[in-house]
């Protein structure tokens, strides 16, 4: 660590790798609700957050685990398909609360083309909420799970061990695009019925 009279210690949350205050300030000053997307290897979380002087207020939230418990999702909850569906579910919930537009907040994540963050954004936009974004960052094949179906065909017999969780839940990985469309239609039915919570 540097020493001397001119050395300035970064703020605690910046040191911990949690908050980019320069980016946060720009997002908060926009005055729009933020679509906050955070992902791990196993799960995706999408939230619509508004900034207030007393602290951030979560307007709507969706977790990829909800896809399994509420909508019968049998595939992984950490892939691009589940990220899209989590974003779509968050949009359905946010629309029921009156949110019409938002701005993407990816935190300290790198804005990588085809990442789960942009898959969640794609689902959120398809849910009917306006968010400015670059179309090149979204890879449609990854969102539907077509890339996984192709990969399984190349694997042959090794697919049984690589995708054992899929098979244990009763889903063949080759059928992921069809399963994706089924779960997507269930989420959109929720929007039509107005039963989003």
The 10s digit of each residue's pLDDT in 113-127 is 999 999 999 999 999
pLDDT at 1 over 80: no
CATH number of the 12-193 domain: 3.30.420.100
Whole-number pLDDT of residue 193: 80
Whole-number pLDDT of residue 139: 87
Q: Where are the beta strands (DSSP E) in 12-150?
A: 34-39, 44-52, 55-63, 103-105
pLDDT at 177 over 80: yes
Does pTM surpass 0.85? yes
Q: List phi, psi (to 5°) of 101.
A: -145, 160
Query: What burial class does residue 25 get, using C-beta atoms within 10 Å of its C-beta: 0-12 exposed, 13-18 middle, 19+ buried?
Result: exposed
Query: What burial class does residue 183 get, using C-beta atoms within 10 Å of its C-beta: 0-12 exposed, 13-18 middle, 19+ buried?
Result: buried
Quick one: pLDDT band at residue 195, thresholds 50, 70, 90? low
What are 3-32's pLDDT values in tens digits?
Answer: 888 999 899 999 999 999 999 999 999 999
What are 136-162's pLDDT values in tens digits?
Answer: 998 888 999 999 999 999 998 898 999
**What would the two tokens of residue 131 be?**
């968010």
Rounded CA separation 53/26 (Å): 15
Whole-number pLDDT of residue 141: 84
Mean pLDDT over 65-86 rounds to 96
pLDDT at 57 over 70: yes
Whole-number pLDDT of residue 192: 82
């Amino acid at each position: 660590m540097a020493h001397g009279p001119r050395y300035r210690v970064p703020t605690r949350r910046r040191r911990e790798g949690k908050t980019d205050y320069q980016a946060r300030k720009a997002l908060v000053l926009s005055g729009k609700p933020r679509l906050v997307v955070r992902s791990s290897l196993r799960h995706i979380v999408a939230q619509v957050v508004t900034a207030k002087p007393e602290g951030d207020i979560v307007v709507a939230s969706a977790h990829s685990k909800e896809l399994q418990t509420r909508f019968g999702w049998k595939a992984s909850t950490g892939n691009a398909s589940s990220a899209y569906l989590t974003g779509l579910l968050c949009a359905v919930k946010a629309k029921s609360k009156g949110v019409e537009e938002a701005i993407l907040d990816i935190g300290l994540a790198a804005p990588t083309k085809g990442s789960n963050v942009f898959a969640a954004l794609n689902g959120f936009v398809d849910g009917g909420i306006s968010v400015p974004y670059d179309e090149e960052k979204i890879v449609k094949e990854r969102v539907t799970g077509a890339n996984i179906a192709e990969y399984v065909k190349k694997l042959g017999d090794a697919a049984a061990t690589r995708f054992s969780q899929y098979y244990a839940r009763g889903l063949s990985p080759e059928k992921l695009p069809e399963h994706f469309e089924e779960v997507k239609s269930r989420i959109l039915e929720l929007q039509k019925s107005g039963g989003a919570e």
